[in-house]
Structure 1
Amino acid sequence: MIDVYSWATPNGHKIHILLEELGLPYRVHAIDIGAGDQFKPDFLSISPNNKIPAIVDADGPDGKPISLFESGAILLYLAGKSGRFLGHTDREKFNTLQWLMFQMGGVGPMLGQAHHFRIYAPEKIEYAVNRYTNEAKRLYGVIDKQLSQHPYLAGNEYTIADIATFPWLRSWKNQGIELSEYPHLKTWFDAISERPAVKRGVEVLASARKPLTDDKARDILFGSQQYQKR
């Protein structure tokens, strides 16, 4: 049994989707990041960066429990454990890895900043909004070009690169994107949206997440509490 400590965010949904695709048994433990659950000692013991998601697999590689944090590392672990969605040859695996790193190093951080400065920032800073919106458009363009040549990010097969990237693109409107301007990406996005495991994965904890409207939750996520030494 795999215990998943998570919340209904793009990084959380990556893990929910992969577990659903794999059909592995798992239990979800809600870490309400608006309430500060990510700073509790029990969670920090498995996720020292105070970010979701994290997992504990009772049946680790050596038969002993293993805990992991960072969504990309968890995706790689689960893909390796199951032998699926990573590629079969070394060439396929490295191709998957480069697109996974593209998501981890670019898509997630940059779209997150676009979302933040467009939606959550207490004041609208034109420079920041323009910078991150333009970078979002650039990244969507990179993905669209890749998908004009291949059905999936890493080539002809659906992999953890697609699973990692898809949840971040679900908020395209908030990122200043018009999806119809990226036709190849839209075809890919629509197809992945219809996968039964994806439909189940994005519903995990979705009903528990509430709109971020109160000042306390904003301070927990974006203010002084985020930067305290622990």
Structure 2
Amino acid sequence: MSDRLREQIEEQIATGQLPPGSALDEVALATQFGVSRTPVREALIQLTAEGLVELRPRRGAVVASVGPARLLEMFEVMAELEAMCARLAARRMSESEQAELLAAHRACEAARGDPDAYFYCNERFHNAIYAGSHNGFLAEEAAALQRRLRPYRRLQLRVRDRMANSFAEHEAVVAALQAGDAAAAANALRRHVSVQGERFGDLVASLQALDHAA
């Protein structure tokens, strides 16, 4: 029960229904999901361990807010983890795993124009690369940080032209993986995940707009 609740609350955080700084009242959540407070409390503890929720004195549980400097650090680490996944996947992906990657890539193409649909197809694309690395520990670490960055990766897709650029970047990753070029795959995925310069400025501006709207 607590695991299902964690997934449901995490989804609301990722999709912006619960933006950074939102209070997470145990009674309200228990009523919303039709459960007792105990599994809600357990779910919030799990989300706190993941870094998506903070426990603040006198405020209780709130959706975690990440400052720009910290966010940049997290994306830097995410870019390196994914680059490692791509480097290994270029050498280790099976034919069936490559087929899944291509299916996810085609799904991203079909979803362009719909940020929410693209968000889920994009997750499928990246998860296919994690699996293709055939390094369970690396895949777990990449997935854990991906979960923590989900609200921000989703927000990026609402920046003008980001979906089109993201898909073009995916094309470079797919080509390198199909060619078995480990260095090119790692570099392509690193560039895709990194948020530097204008991209980072756009992301911070979107976060500020979200804060003002809240």
TM-score (norm: length of structure 1): 0.27
Q: Which has the higher helix share?
A: 2
Q: Which has the higher strand share?
A: 1
